[in-house]
Amino acid sequence: MPMHTLSIQRVLNVVQRATQTAAQANLAALLDRTLDLFVEEARAEAGTLYLYDPERDELVFHVVKGDETSRRLLGMRIPANRGVAGSALRTREPIFVSDVASDPRWDRSIGELASIRLRTMYCLPLMIEERPVGVVQVFNLPGDAVDAEEELALLRILGNTMVSVIDKTRLLEETYRRERRQRALADIAARLTTTLDRQQLLTLIMDYARDLLNCEATSVWEIDDSDETNPVLRSHVATGSRGEKVTGITVPPGQGIIGHVVATGQIVRVDNVREDARHYQVVDQQSGFVTRSILCVPLRAPSIELGAGRGRVEARIIGGAQALNKIDGSFTDDDVSLFESFANLSATVLQLSRLYADTQNLLLGMIKALVEAVDARDRNNRQHSRRVSDFSVAIAEELGLSDEQIFHVRIGSLLHDIGKIGVPDAILDKPGCLTQEELIEMRNHTVKGYDIMSQEELKRLLRVELPALLQHHERLDGNGYPHRIAGDQISWIARIVAVADVFDALTSVRPYKEPWSAEQAIAYLRERKGIEFDAACVEALARARAKGHPLVKTQGERAVVSQER
């Protein structure tokens, strides 16, 4: 085809259509419309679009056009070096295949576009510089495209126009999804401290799971052995359109996929239950719900110390949780990981309903899990809250505080940075100095943390701990934040956490500095005791360190111990 046939006007039209498509804020809609553009501009019969997962070096099947049977592959993952798509991604170059059937790179085992007789294909890697984002494939292009480099160049222009938009939209959705999950965990953790209503808590957890996994229904099943001669699996909570019909239904031990999971402890994913002999159709018959796909995980009750001289409950499988009918695709590995988290929370709730009088240890465990989830967002500051909690407890013990006060110190110091759940990743992970606006946003984590944990239901329970969240960056001379209070206006618990927080900040690795030694950090605190920091707290930390208190180990010292194990 002569070069002049690819007119400037046509290129401009393609770019204009791509720009209009880029206005899609929803990733699924953006990818769907992007593939439409490729199929239309290539005058192809079908197309597929994969996104690249760098953490697992895999391609994830996201969109298909021209073959409805291939929709069953949505969400499927394949190694990033597999097939024609893998070849294009590896070489960073587009591939034109003039005869798909005879090309050895074409992977027939996947069953992609199996209902169409494939002739030609064009496979285009979507790249930002040298970083892969995904792969677009279009099939059965018209005959004049075989030698039409200009036509294929137009597809490359389209790819270059759309790739950055796809990448940014995906990052935004991932950020939004993480925030939703963190808010869900925060809400569940908050509810766990305010109610022991099993039904209410399990319904809350399963509602969140159904929403975040994008499926039609979820349920929690528990081993009911009240009749020792006839134990059953009983549904305690079920969400979705027929949830009320499922609640209370029983399944004999070992029956159904849920019975298999409870008996073996395995995680089971089935894309089509009609093809799985383990599917227990009685539940569908009794409830009227039609199960198509399923993700089922065991509920493992945590090991719980019941108190001195009162024994120990060992971890065991007490039931299972189900997510049913994934909307638009198949259950993914990420779904499994998230659903396991919700299943663990559900198991905890079931235990709490039996052991409601002994909730302190479980509450502490849930707070640690929540805090670690927040700390994990800050790549530069992993395990910070745990270390600050350890240092704070050591200070409290040196000060001779009561067991009750030490418990409050442990909780308050663990939660001191919980407000970072509202700080954007770009600020948390920034390797250099923050701008003035970013610094204001970061410093606002004290107020955010206080607001998050001072809901009406939590305010009374955490009345001692809340000042640690709000005031741990205040200073005795009034030059701290957020409210620049001074002297006795700063609570006793915030004074402890302030010293512990600075000690960890100084002795930990940060992108902008090397870690100080413990001795240098203590010298720094002593220089400012009575001015910025409470003198008694500074000296208590110094004494604990001098005595070799096991909790007063710096980040580097803990890393050495971990490597020696």
Q: Residue 491: which CATH number?
A: 1.10.3210.10
Are 285 and 265 in a shared domain? yes
- Give the total number of structural domains in the chain: 3
Pick from 357, 385, 415: which residue ends a domain?
A: 357
> What are the beta bridge partners of residue 320?
221, 298
**Separation between Cα atoms, residue 359 and residue 1, nearest integer Å:** 76
Give a yes or no: residue 190 inside a domain. Answer: no
Give a yes or no: residue 553 inside a domain. Answer: yes
Are 336 and 376 in a shared domain? no
**Vertex 101 angle, CA 31 and 104, to 5°:** 90
Give a yes or no: residue 189 inside a domain. Answer: no
How far, in Å, are 194, 371, 379, 384, 499 from residue 413 at the CA level?
20, 10, 20, 10, 11
Give a yes or no: residue 300 inside a domain. Answer: yes
Question: Structural domain of residue 236, as residue ranges?
Answer: 195-357
Strand duo 316-326 + 215-224: pairing: antiparallel
Pick from 357, 376, 408: which residue ends a domain?
A: 357
Are 273 and 326 in a shared domain? yes
Are 402 and 474 in a shared domain? yes
Are 248 and 340 in a shared domain? yes
Measuring CA to CA, which residue among 440, 441, 443, 467 is closest to residue 453? 467
293: which DSSP letter? -
Are 144 and 235 in a shared domain? no
**Separation between Cα atoms, residue 226 and residue 32, nearest integer Å:** 52
What pLDDT is recorded for position 357? 39
**Separation between Cα atoms, residue 462 and residue 78, nearest integer Å:** 48
pTM exceeds cut of 0.85: no
**Separation between Cα atoms, residue 97 and residue 140, nearest integer Å:** 10
Are 231 and 332 in a shared domain? yes
Q: What order do you get walking across the sheet with 316-326 strand by strand? A: 250-251, 232-239, 215-224, 316-326, 294-301, 268-270
pLDDT by residue, tens only, the chain of 565 residues: 344 455 565 666 666 676 776 666 788 888 888 898 889 888 889 999 999 988 778 898 888 888 887 877 887 888 898 899 999 999 999 999 888 888 999 888 877 777 888 889 999 999 998 899 999 999 998 876 655 677 677 788 888 888 888 888 888 888 877 787 777 777 777 776 666 677 888 888 899 889 888 899 999 998 888 777 888 898 888 998 888 888 888 899 889 999 999 999 999 999 889 889 999 888 888 888 999 999 999 998 765 554 544 445 556 888 999 999 998 777 888 788 889 988 888 887 777 666 653 455 556 666 777 787 777 776 666 789 999 999 999 999 999 999 889 989 999 999 999 998 888 888 887 877 889 999 999 999 999 999 988 887 678 788 999 999 999 999 999 999 999 999 999 999 999 999 999 999 999 988 778 899 999 999 999 999 999 999 999 999 999 999 999 999 999 888 887 676 5
Give a yes or no: residue 211 inside a domain. Answer: yes
**Separation between Cα atoms, residue 54 and residue 40, nearest integer Å:** 29
* Contact (CB, 8 A) for 45 and 140: yes
Phi-psi category of residue 254: left, alpha or beta, with phi > 0 → left and psi -120 to 50 → alpha: left
Are 98 and 146 in a shared domain? yes
* Contact (CB, 8 A) for 464 and 344: no
**Phi/psi at 48 (nearest 5 deg)?**
-140, 155
Token pair of 122, please? 């064009």
Domain at 273, CATH number: 3.30.450.40
Pick from 339, 357, 375: which residue ends a domain?
A: 357
Three-state secondary structure along 6-56?
A: CCHHHHHHHHHHHHHHCCCCCHHHHHHHHHHHHHHHHCCCEEEEEEEECCC
Give a yes or no: residue 112 inside a domain. Answer: yes
Give a yes or no: residue 294 inside a domain. Answer: yes
Q: Is 16 exposed, middle or buried (0-12, 13-18, 19+ CB in 10 A)?
A: exposed
Read off the amino acid at residue 511: P
Q: Which helix (H) or strand (E) holds 254?
A: none
Give a yes or no: residue 155 inside a domain. Answer: yes
Are 152 and 55 in a shared domain? yes
End-to-end CA distance of the chain: give it in Å, rounded: 68
What pLDDT is recorded for position 21? 67
Are 146 and 224 in a shared domain? no
**Separation between Cα atoms, residue 300 and residue 265, nearest integer Å:** 9
Q: What is the largest CA-CA distance in the chain?
A: 89
Are 318 and 382 in a shared domain? no
Are 171 and 242 in a shared domain? no
